[in-house]
Copies of this chain bind each other. A is one copy, B any other.
């Protein structure tokens, strides 16, 4: 029994979409990873349509059991946050329309899940995603790596006995710490690879 999760790192210029399968032993496997792009000089409505259709095509191709989308905050980069929010809305609608369970995770939840550290930088997240998935290289661009991290985060949190999915903030509960330690033991065999 494995869980197939499609993660979306929403963006108007680059939207990362990563699909992973996570086995019962919590080891994740890469299924597919994509970056949907739209030209920054195209009209906003055309950009949204391109991104929405791209997400929907991948959902329909890979039939995930669940979707995970990065939670956008209005406090973040004001210049890009509106487009990011609009894309997240399109991804949420795509999930609802297909009856696929969907959850939002904050960047710090994702970082904490994959690196054990809620303030990890993009490079650390990318490196850990590559290690967890047994990839020779870090997925590029960062949006693609982030989408894979989201999918892994969602699968791990969903399977946790004391699920904290949906809670805010980046600090670890005792249950999260226990899982982080368990995840470290999963990762150890790969550390040399």
Contacts and interface: CB of A to CB of B under 8 A. Distances in A.
A90 interface: yes
For chain A, give the interface size range.
20 to 34
Contact of A90 (B72, B78, B89, B102): B89
A39 interface: no
Interface stretch (A43-51, A118-126, A132-140): A43-51
A91 B165 CA distance: 30
Contact of A72 (B48, B82, B92): B82
A128 interface: no
A184 interface: no
Nearest to A80: B74
Chain A contact surface mostly: helix
Contacts of A48: 89, 92-93, 96
A13 interface: no
Contacts of A92: 44-45, 48, 86
A127 interface: no
A25 interface: no
Interface of A: 43-46, 48-49, 52, 72-75, 78, 81-82, 85-90, 92-93, 95-97, 102, 104
